[in-house]
Structure 1
Amino acid sequence: MLRIPRLSQLAAAALALAVTASGAAFATTQTSDGPASGRPAHAVASSSAGVDGAMRAALDALPKGDGRYTVAVEDLDGGNAAVYGAGTGAYDTASIVKVDILAALLLDAQDSGAPLTAKQKKLAAAMIRDSDNDATNALWKTIGETDGLDAANKRLGLKATHGDRDGHWGLTRTTAADQTVLLEAVLGDAHSPLTTHSQAYLRSLMTTVKADQRWGISAADGKGAAAKPPLKNGWLSRSATGLWDVNSIGRVEYGGHTLLVAVLSDGQHTYRQGVDLVERAAATAVKAFVKAETSDVLPKA
């Protein structure tokens, strides 16, 4: 089987994209460009074979909607990874940054040698399970806001995620590849700076989000409606445009494979339109990715 680097390395490659002021993009051979303003814009040197090409072809075949989106998928079992839409640049995190904020809080707790307080645990549960913004504001101050988040992200291996300089946590900018690096650290990577205890705590909260927030990457889980994968969604209506950012990150099981998935979108006219796009993109990408992994398309190692 063709092996490409784990997504932590792939994210570094995606970071090498040089996006000019006019929007032109140049990518490495391990990323696939996708839609910007609803139109495919393939990377100049993107791979056309294996999981990368299969995922790109499947997503390019979807109806072209409004706005833009990007998808990253990594197989924790097989070691393959692919990114679609890397050349479209960075996206607002909206509430998916709450996973990052809790990871930063847990790193601080590990450094101090003291567990989270009862109050911090209550706030963390509300932030992840309910996506409560007041709880997030409190923990955002605790971690040192933008500077604290950026410092934690250096330790977590994120290279293309940067906090908003005006201190708005929902306007943190990120890429799909970087979000999958975060998921590696949060959902059990052995090399994570987070302890196994911290990882288990984060995973438990992400697996028990409120029922009405179980949309998004869960649409790609092979268990269907019964699935309760660890995930976090984010949605934000931008006041300047009235258009929506809608994102989803997490881990799914499909066809015997354990996959990290991140879908980011912006420029959506409604929240519902964004949710539909994210779910359709996640399900399409995962299906194509796994089909390519398990077919004769990929050469044997």
Structure 2
Amino acid sequence: MQARREPLVDIADENVTYSVAVRDTATGRTTAHQHGPDPAHPSASVVKLGILAALLLRAQDTGRELTAQERVSAAEMIERSDNDAATALWHVIGGAPGQDAAHRRLGLRESAATPDWGLSRTTATDQLILLDAVFNDGATLLSGPSRAFVADLMTRVVADQAWGVSAAGSSPALKNGWMPLSATGLWVINSVGRVTASGRDILVAVLSGGHPTKKAGVALVEAAARAAVSAADGVR
């Protein structure tokens, strides 16, 4: 993996930090960019993708299908980012210990769940690992039907939540997260997913924090996603 620290986008606000990682699914080439001292960020609602992966692994382990209610909750959690649905499934997977167990099984080594799921921490490179578990047709712990279920939900995100990595390409499948931190009032804005650019499928994860407003954070995330995908296109 190529890791770079030069800024992808101009940052005027010293409070703003971000981490970006992209992977070309055809070549496996991965590049990462970081602005700020710590690659880990609060997950906000992108953790909901991890919750769904943990739920599906638990169902696979016992050889069962998701219940009708679990499927409804999963759809509400991913498509509309419904917090009550996420909390219900959080309890099903065993809370933070269950989420961390799924992290380890899937190979996420830099992510840590917390009892308040929105404050769980993760890195852009770990999010690429999770995205790869969903969108890689090769060897992955998630079964074909499980991967198809997740990917389909990620293409159905409601229109007013379809910002973020979608700015970097077409045919997006994504999950976003956003929240102001109570301690500072500054916003965490995250976006992870798959887009098609230059005829290739690209996995993209952008995590950021320190934004004065949600709008400012979305603009930064979209600019970083476009720049990262463009830079990756130049080194294929």
Shorter-chain TM-score range: over 0.9
8 Å CA contact 1:257–1:290 kept in 2: the answer is no
Out of 80, 83, 100, the residue aligned to residue 133 of structure 1 is 83
1:262 and 2:220 matched:
no
1:251 touches 1:259 (CA, 8 Å); kept in 2?
yes
- Residue correspondence of structure 1 range 24-103 to structure 2 within 5 A: 30-34=2-6, 59=8, 62-66=9-13, 67-85=16-34, 87-103=37-53
TM-score (norm 2): 0.95
Q: Secondary structure at the match of 2:4?
A: coil
Identity of aligned residues (%): 50
Out of 151-160 and 182-191, give the one that drifted further: 182-191
Q: State the shift of 1:80 in Å.
A: 1.1
1:190 to 138, 142, 146: 138
1:26 aligns to what? none
Ranges of 4+ aligned residues in structure 1 off by more than 3 Å = none
**Alignment TM-score, normalising by the size of structure 1:** 0.75
Tell me the equivalent position of 2:112. 162
The Cα shift of 1:291 comes to: 2.2
1:1-301 alignment runs, 5 A limit? 10=1, 30-34=2-6, 59=8, 62-66=9-13, 67-85=16-34, 87-164=37-114, 167-221=115-169, 223=170, 227=171, 229-293=172-236
- The one-letter amino acid of 1:242's match is G
Distance 1:261 1:136, change over 3 A: same
Aligned residues: 233
Instruction: List runs of 5+ in structure 1 lacking aligned partners.
Output: 1-9, 11-29, 35-39, 41-58, 294-301
Code of the residue aligned with 1:202 in structure 2: it is V
Residue by residue over 1:216-235, the C-alpha shift from the partner in whole angstroms, topping out at 9 and shown as x without a partner, is 000000x3xxx4x1100000
Give the letter aligned to residue 118 of structure 1. A
Deviations 1:86-135 (A, max 9, x none): 85331001000000000000000001111000011111100000000000
Find the structure with the greater CA-based Rg. Answer: 1
**Alpha-carbon distance in 2 for matches of 1:125, 1:275:** 23
The C-alpha deviation readout for 1:190-243, integer Å capped at 9, x for no partner, is 22100011000000100101011110000000x3xxx4x110000011011000
Rounded Cα–Cα distance in structure 2 between residues aligned with 1:65 and 1:151: 39
Give the counterpart letter for 1:32 in structure 2. R
The answer (yes or no) to whether the contact 2:44–2:188 under 8 Å persists in 1 is yes
Kept in 2: contact 1:159–1:178 (CA 8 A): yes
Q: Give secondary structure in 1 for the equivalent of 2:10.
A: coil
Query: How far apart in 2 are the matches of 1:274 and 1:170?
Result: 17
Q: Equivalents in 2 of 1:186, 1:147: separation in Å?
A: 21
Distance 1:63 1:287 in 2: 16
Equivalent-residue separation in structure 2 for 1:105 and 1:65 (angstroms): 41
**Contact kept in structure 1, 2:39 and 2:124, CA below 8 Å:** no
What one-letter code is carried by the residue in structure 1 that aligns with 2:18? Y
